[in-house]
A and B are shown apart, each in its own frame.
Chain A
Amino acid sequence: MATGKRFPRDLFEIENARNLTRDELVATFVPTKAFRRLLSAKNHVVLGSRGSGKTALAKALSHDHLSRLDDQMSREVIRSRSFIGIYVPTKLEWVGGLRNKPWQSEAEKELFFQWRLNVATCMAFLTTLRSCLEAYMPNKAQRAKVEAELVSEVGISWAGHSSTGNTIGALQTFLEDIEYEKQQQLARTRALGHLRDGEEPVGIGFGADLFVPLRRGMKLAARALCLPLDCTWLLCLDEAEFLDEMHHRILNSHLRTHSDNLFFKITTMPYCHYTLATNTKVSLNVGQDFEYVYIDQDPVVHAGHEGVEGHQFAGAIFNKRALVSGRKYRDLSLREMLGGSVLLDSKRAEDWGPRSENLSLLRRYASRETIERAEKLSVNQKEFMDQIGRKMHGALRLRHAVATQTGRKELTVYSGDTMAIRCGDANPRRLIRIFNSFLLAAKWQHSPGRTAVVRLRPNVQTRILTGFSTSTLSRVQSEEVNGPELYEFLKRIGDYMHDSLHNEPLTTDQISSVRVDRTVDDLSWMLTKMAVGLGLLFPNTNANYPDEMPEREGTFRFAYVLAPHFRILPRKGKARKLETILRRHRGKVAPAFQGEQMALAFLSGDED
């Protein structure tokens, strides 16, 4: 796409890739290392917390998006016809029509899931087919002829008759109709207890084994489009966390069977690939049948050293959206709008002079050992800055700001571009929401030929980030199944970190992570996994196995987005054992968490 293109919508208002049009997504997509990995003839299960960009990745792999990406590798893939991606969403509304039939037996549920997924994949295949025809048949007349012949063949193969029309649009309408009719037929049969006299089940052709209709379509398309023999089809199944374990088992069976030229890219939340079991006696083998790809904080392609990557990624997201979202965002930079961060931006040695405020704060808030160590190191400026200055600056400033906040005086320290980016946790949705909150509060100065933003005051920025942080935590309460327990769990961790920062003598390491070991109780472990899924805890993954989720053992960083709420520093520090944190609070608050059993058990059903 031409970089000068602008869209009528303000894309800062749209934080979910699902809601972007194809061209909007293509224009704002930031390719990451994971994106490159996924363009391969391998089965992958993509793990990412909510808002981490799974849908954007899955959509970007589909042919109609990939063929428009301004990216060298993508262009080569399209030109060589080496990979053809099909995007299939399994969103909540779709799954809602699967789970609402509790009367079905397990076998009926499996068959119904397969039937609907067959229809959904065929529907998605048609979108890809249209894109392939446009890409590989530039002559319109020839394209129309091939489309008519191909659609007719595919229609006969799926429906058993040729009355499905001879355009892709007509075949799509046919599929929509049978999907609706199937649901209506099931509802009617349930209500009346029987089919009508002489009535046949709807869409018998899609009752075939899973992906059989899709494979037939692929085969016919390959012939009509003269695709090379080594052409690989990628079926991108998005949002598999909404499916059940049984559905995953069925899908796993297809990952196990090593099909010829169809590979799966399944996206789900961490710990939400519910089983490795298959419909055969042999379970999936990670590394052999498929690989996990963990995308939380997935670095941007060609990024520099660690720490800069997140900043670059966030900057790329902001800049790409600003570029296409309207005239007033032209030339807008985060630094211009937000300024620097008092707590996080790197500090100079001059800030630690003998009469400096920093040194005075160190003497006031630091532990005796830390002060003694600082005095010893003060003879060597570099060592002092590396071991004391850079590590303690933010914590000292934050502690002092909170300690001296009185009455109506507002806190100002959660401000600056680095702070905004850090609180986004490299989570695209979170970042876009934060950016949008700032843009909505921003004021603009108009002068001939230029619209410039007025820098947001630090107290306003702090108010916005704190509100965002509190809202993120608060929403957890209504999460499915264990929302209140998770809320209490996160609150305890945050309160502990707050106490440690504000009520104990400071050292060079602030607590920012929790450590879990084999002794962890079931509820705490379940809540830990839930928090990882929501992007409120992040596992420190093993450098050798960066895509594997820790199992009942590991260190998990508290999400930076929660820092403003708890008045803690969004910065990597040391870990404290989870049990120690929970034990400290046990008996103080919220009996719901005591005894590792939730007190909430009353089903309200539908009565109210």
Chain B
Amino acid sequence: MLYRVKDSRIEDVSAGIYDCVFFASGYEERCTHVAKRLPPNITRKSVLLGFKEAARHPQRCENDRYFLSNWVENEVTLSSEDDGPVFGHLRDLQPANEGHLQIMVDYSSMSRVWYAAILNWARFATQFERIDIDLVYATGDHREPERPMVITQMVSIPGCEGSPEASLKSVAVFGLGFEGQAALCVLDRLEPDEFYTYLAGPGSSERHRARAKTENAELIRHANGTFELPLASVERTYSDLSEVIARHRSKANIVFIPMGPKPHVLAAILLAIRFREVSCLRVSGKRDRPARVGATGETVVTRVEFRGRDRED
């Protein structure tokens, strides 16, 4: 079972010993930020997941060169929706400490499907007594996109389908980022009975927090409640969101639509893993050009522990 979610520090990760670390390489500048702060000897095995999309982007090529020179011999190129190769690597893992597997995931630029796959696998891999996953996120410095994101797909994150019961009312919880129009579009499609919003506050900067509020002003105005949750603490976000949904559990289908920063996405996925009446939707989109995202220098580290037999329950 999902035993504990707690905040950690990059220093602890630097001092850790892992059976496997996962990195992702894409078009964002921040892809390599965490890797550059860690010594390669922290792990017995490294896996680099490369986005099949935008494979020739100059920044992507630069990121690939760094990882291939310092961390891995090969890159696993896969679609952002494909979790098969991720599971393939996980199934081969053997822990250095018997029954206790330790994994690190740099999810700063990683597809939600990939890190959800790692979490799902850990939840189901009952052959291990304990699995600890350190999830590391390099806070992004977002430059403003010129045109809004266009939604291409709205699907459940695999393993986070919940248990939608048609006769119950629906409660949606939106994690807000900078795509206010897209969030409104999702709201139009979902049409929940009630909805709540949460955004990063404190976020990576006051400017980002203000921008998220401005971009989502209409959604926030109509919401049944809006919460500011710290970007730097998944533990706190997970706990506070549990309280937000507590009074609706067993009386409603609860759906999370995390469209904000990844630590908030992670908290939503963990809640969907934890509670069967909670589902988590993944909203994908396209832009006219890639959003430039650098690293602010800050990191958010979360340790997720799975323990005991019958973990999926």
Interface residues of A (CB under 8 A from B): 16, 18-19, 50, 88-89, 91-94, 96-97, 99-103, 120, 123-124, 127, 172, 176, 179-180, 183-184, 187-188, 190-193, 471, 474-475, 477-484, 592, 599-608
Contact = CB atoms under 8 A, between A and B. Distances in A.
B101 interface: no
B204 interface: no
B124 A93 contact: no
A478 B91 contact: no
A107 to B, nearest CB: 18
B255 interface: yes
Interface in B27-79: 27-28, 51, 53-54
B181 interface: yes
8 contacts: A94-B164, A102-B82, A477-B181, A478-B151, A483-B151, A602-B289, A604-B285, A606-B111
Nearest to A605: B80
Contact of B27 (A97, A475, A607): A607
A478 B150 contact: yes
B148 A477 contact: yes
A478 B189 contact: no
A192 B122 CA distance: 10
Contact of B149 (A89, A193, A592, A604): A604
B80 A606 contact: yes
B287 A187 contact: no
B156 interface: yes
Contacts of B190: 91-93
A19 B149 contact: no
B56 to A, nearest CB: 12
B111 A92 contact: no
B26 A605 contact: yes
A72 B186 CA distance: 39
Contacts of B53: 603, 605
A483 B82 CA distance: 26
Interface stretch (B2-10, B12-20, B113-121, B234-242): B113-121
B140 interface: yes
Contact of B287 (A19, A94, A602): A602
Contacts of A481: 150-152
Contact of B181 (A88, A478, A601): A478
Interface stretch (B130-138, B276-284, B301-309): B276-284
Given A483-B150, A607-B28, A97 B182 contact: no
A600 B287 contact: yes
B54 A190 contact: no
Contacts of B26: 605, 607
B267 to A, nearest CB: 16
A100 B166 contact: no
A19 B169 contact: yes
Contacts of B161: 96-97, 100, 183, 187
B163 A19 contact: no
Which 10 interchain pairs have the tightest Cβ spacing? A97-B161, A187-B159, A605-B80, A180-B163, A478-B185, A606-B111, A478-B181, A96-B156, A100-B155, A478-B182
Contact of B158 (A123, A187, A592): A187
B214 to A, nearest CB: 14
A96 B257 CA distance: 12
Contacts of A190: 83, 87, 120, 158
A184 B273 CA distance: 10
Given A176-B165, A190-B158, A102 B81 contact: yes
A604 B286 contact: yes
B113 A191 contact: no
Interface in B93-152: 109-113, 117, 120-121, 124-125, 140, 142, 147-152
Nearest to A480: B151
A603 B284 CA distance: 9
A94 B279 CA distance: 10
Interface in B254-310: 255, 276, 279, 281-282, 284-291, 293
Contacts of A172: 167
Chain A CB within 10 Å, residue with most, of B149, B156, B253: B156
B210 interface: no
Given A92-B154, A183-B161, A604-B291, A478 B184 contact: yes
Given A102-B82, A123-B166, A603-B286, 17 more contacts: A92-B154, A93-B190, A96-B155, A96-B279, A99-B155, A176-B163, A183-B159, A183-B163, A478-B179, A480-B151, A481-B152, A482-B150, A483-B150, A600-B150, A605-B26, A607-B28, A607-B293
Chain A CB within 10 Å, residue with most, of B288, B289, B291: B288
Contacts of A19: 169-170, 191-193
A434 to B, nearest CB: 15
A99 B155 CA distance: 6
Contacts of A600: 147, 150, 286-288
B249 to A, nearest CB: 14
Nearest to B288: A600
A350 B149 CA distance: 54
A608 B53 CA distance: 13
B121 A191 contact: yes
A604 B282 CA distance: 13
A479 B149 contact: no
A478 B152 contact: no
B27 to A, nearest CB: 7
Contacts of B184: 475, 478
B288 A602 contact: yes
Nearest to B158: A100
Interface in B219-238: none
A19 B151 CA distance: 24
Nearest to B26: A607
A399 B198 CA distance: 45
A602 B87 contact: no
A301 to B, nearest CB: 26
B202 interface: no
Nearest to A101: B158
A478 B152 CA distance: 9
A104 B288 CA distance: 30
B140 A608 contact: yes
A93 B156 contact: yes
A37 B166 CA distance: 26
Contacts of A127: 167
Given A603-B152, A605-B26, A479 B185 contact: yes
A269 to B, nearest CB: 12
Given A180-B163, A187-B158, A475 B185 contact: yes
A84 B24 CA distance: 54
A100 B156 contact: yes
A157 to B, nearest CB: 21
B290 A604 contact: yes
B125 A191 contact: yes
B218 interface: yes
A93 B150 contact: no
Contacts of B164: 91, 93-94, 97
B188 interface: yes
Nearest to A601: B286
A109 to B, nearest CB: 13
Contacts of A606: 80, 110-113, 282, 284
Nearest to B166: A89
A360 B26 CA distance: 66
Nearest to A183: B161
Contacts of B312: 184, 188
A490 B127 CA distance: 58
Given A97-B156, A477-B148, A608-B291, A192 B286 contact: no
A418 B160 CA distance: 47
A301 B152 CA distance: 39
Contacts of B54: 602-603, 605
A608 B281 contact: no
